[in-house]
Amino acid sequence: ANYVGGLAGYNWGGTITNTYSTGAVTGTTNVGGLLGENWGNGTISNSYSTGDVTGSGDDVGGLVGYNEGTITDSYSTGAVSGGDYVGGLVGESWGTITDSYSTGAVTGANYVGGLVGYNEDTITDSYSTGTVSGGSDVGGLVGRNWNTITNSYSTGAVTGTNAVGGLVGDNEDTITDSYSTGTVSGDDSVGGLVGCNNMDI
């Protein structure tokens, strides 16, 4: 049900390098194509997942459901669907993401992003290309952002209701040297780059 991953369910501070998973993954919460949860400064590098990921609850990601470690040079390509905190690469991230991408379609309720649903750490040199759809706080790259995004972009179409953006749905920190090209549609606080912005771009 919980902590379900294509390679491992739960990683506590370990190092995962040069690995991959290709099967479909299904669970409830903390569900990821490679890892259900990456905790305690765990490191993921040069790894990928290609299977579809489905969670009936929260924290669902194409590569990792919930991340508190470091993700570098990694990607996911499968379609992802879940409740809140759903992302093409990571559902909810409190760790750094660098040189990584996702290409699968992403569907969720709130805090839904093409790369990350809910972000609390830096994202650098990363991108997403899949379509994204959800309710509130929906973005082509990140649904809700609370840290710096640099040299990143999104190209997929984005659909939501409130705080919907081509790159970020709701932004609370700095965005630099980044862009989006996908169409965006919603009801309130809708923008080609950012739906609702409270910091510097």
Residue pair 83/97 in contact by the 8 Å Cβ criterion: no
From the number of C-beta atoms within 10 Å of its C-beta (0-12, 13-18, 19+), residue 92 rates as buried
Q: What does the pLDDT read at residue 198?
A: 87
pLDDT tens, 158-193?
999 999 999 999 999 999 999 999 999 999 999 999
Q: Mark residue 57 as left, alpha or beta (left: phi above 0; alpha: psi -120 to 50; beta: remaining).
A: beta
| Residue 6, C-beta contacts closer than 8 angstroms, at least 6 positions apart | 21, 22, 23, 25, 32, 33, 34, 35, 49, 51
Among 38, 80, 79, residue whose Cα is nearest residue 58: 80
Alpha-carbon gap, residue 72 to 11, rounded angstroms: 16
pLDDT tens, 55-90?
999 999 999 999 999 999 999 999 999 999 999 999
Q: Is the pLDDT of residue 199 over 90?
A: no
Q: What is residue 94's DSSP assignment? A: S
What is the pTM assigned to this prediction?
0.97
Q: What does the pLDDT read at residue 200?
A: 64
Among 124, 135, 122, residue whose Cα is nearest residue 173: 122
